[in-house]
């Protein structure tokens, strides 16, 4: 079984940059994986594909050095078991609000005696030798902090053995904090990063993770110079890793930028 390089970086305090896969299909996943990200999350919760399409996405990523993670739809042992058997090297678990939910997430990712994962490495058993021997030390458990209850329990969640990273979901967190959407959805999401209430919650989560010796990740919505500036800001603040953007945002941002440049050239 190969070393989970992104998890190794989390544990050693080295910075990494990730991306997000929301679009279906092998080719877009392959393009993202060959772009140089340290890790990619295939999003089952909000992405436009189902679990039956996940194997081709994970296969595409596994042809590169990029670490394949999966965000599951919810904190569910059978689903977590299945995506790991398909080849995910880590799981992003949404709506982890309590210490017990973090324990449940870890248990679903770990074989006995450390957890309750069932033995059936359907795909991973074919692509990696000694998988059962090493899986418990090479699977990343990433718990999302995105509610007020999660903020209240952030320290306890971070301290759960086997939980490797706290991952901030800024949009759900904003809604939970009572920051009401105004205007276009995209504009509201971007405004969250400069909202003082939101910033306080972000700092609280970062401190909780680092106090427990765990990594902390920030999810960035946007593209182009904006996302690069935000990434630098969060790295400067002390974040261990950032999600720089999704296949959708890179496609729409790149297309919009090219069209804008072409219009300017045509009117010059």
The reported pLDDT for the residue numbered 2 is 85
Average pLDDT over residues 167-172: 96
Cβ neighbors of 100 (< 8 A, separation 6 or more) are none
End-to-end CA distance of the chain: 57
Q: Helix, strand, or coil here: 237?
A: helix
Orientation angle between helical segments 247-267 and 224-237, nearest 10 degrees? 130
Q: How far apart are CA 61 and CA 51, in angstroms?
A: 16
Q: What is the mean pLDDT of the chain?
A: 94
With CA atoms as reference, report the closest residue to 61 among 5, 135, 8.
5
Average pLDDT over residues 225-244: 94
Cβ neighbors of 125 (< 8 A, separation 6 or more) are 131, 132
Angle at 166 between CA 52 and CA 2, to 5 degrees: 55
128 band by pLDDT with thresholds 50, 70 and 90: low
Sign of CA dihedral 8, 10, 12, 17: positive
Q: How far apart are CA 221 and CA 234, in angstroms?
A: 13
The reported pLDDT for the residue numbered 139 is 98
Concerning whether 46 is annotated as a catalytic residue, the answer is: yes
Q: How far apart are CA 128 and CA 108, in angstroms?
A: 20
Strand partners, 144: 167
Orientation angle between helical segments 247-267 and 26-33, nearest 10 degrees? 80
Catalytic pick among 46, 74, 198, 210: 46
15 pLDDT more than 70: yes
Q: How far apart are CA 268 and CA 191, in angstroms?
A: 33
Q: Is 34 exposed, middle or buried (0-12, 13-18, 19+ CB in 10 A)?
A: middle
268 pLDDT more than 90: no
166 band by pLDDT with thresholds 50, 70 and 90: very high
38 band by pLDDT with thresholds 50, 70 and 90: very high
Average pLDDT over residues 58-81: 97
Site of tokens 């990619």: 40
178 pLDDT more than 70: yes
DSSP 152-166: HTHHHHHHSTT--EE
Percent of the chain residues topping a pLDDT of 70: 99
Residue 69, Cβ neighbours under 10 Å: how many?
28
């Amino acid at each position: 079984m190969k070393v989970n390089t992104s998890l190794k970086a989390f544990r050693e305090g080295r910075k990494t940059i990730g991306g997000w896969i929301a679009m279906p299909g092998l080719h877009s996943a392959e393009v993202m994986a060959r772009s140089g990200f340290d890790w990619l999350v295939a999003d089952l919760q909000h992405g436009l594909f189902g679990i039956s399409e996940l194997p081709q996405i994970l296969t595409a990523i596994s042809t590169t050095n990029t670490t394949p993670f999966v965000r599951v739809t919810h904190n569910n042992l059978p689903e977590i078991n299945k995506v790991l058997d398909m080849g995910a090297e880590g799981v992003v678990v949404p709506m982890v609000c309590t210490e017990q939910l973090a324990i449940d997430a870890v248990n679903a990712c770990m074989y006995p005696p450390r957890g309750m994962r069932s033995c059936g490495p359907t795909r991973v058993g074919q692509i990696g030798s000694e998988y059962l021997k090493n899986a418990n030390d090479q699977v990343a458990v990433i718990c999302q902090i995105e509610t007020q209850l999660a903020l209240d329990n952030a320290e306890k969640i971070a301290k759960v053995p086997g939980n490797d990273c706290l991952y901030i979901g800024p949009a759900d967190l904003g809604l939970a904090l009572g920051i009401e959407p105004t205007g276009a959805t995209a504009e509201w999401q971007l405004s969250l990063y400069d909202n003082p209430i939101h910033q306080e919650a972000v700092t609280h989560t970062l401190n909780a993770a680092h106090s427990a010796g765990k990594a902390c990740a920030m999810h960035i919505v946007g593209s182009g110079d904006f996302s690069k500036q935000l990434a630098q800001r969060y790295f400067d603040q002390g974040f261990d890793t950032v999600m720089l953007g999704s296949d959708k945002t890179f496609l729409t941002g790149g297309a919009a930028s090219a069209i804008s440049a072409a219009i300017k050239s045509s009117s010059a």
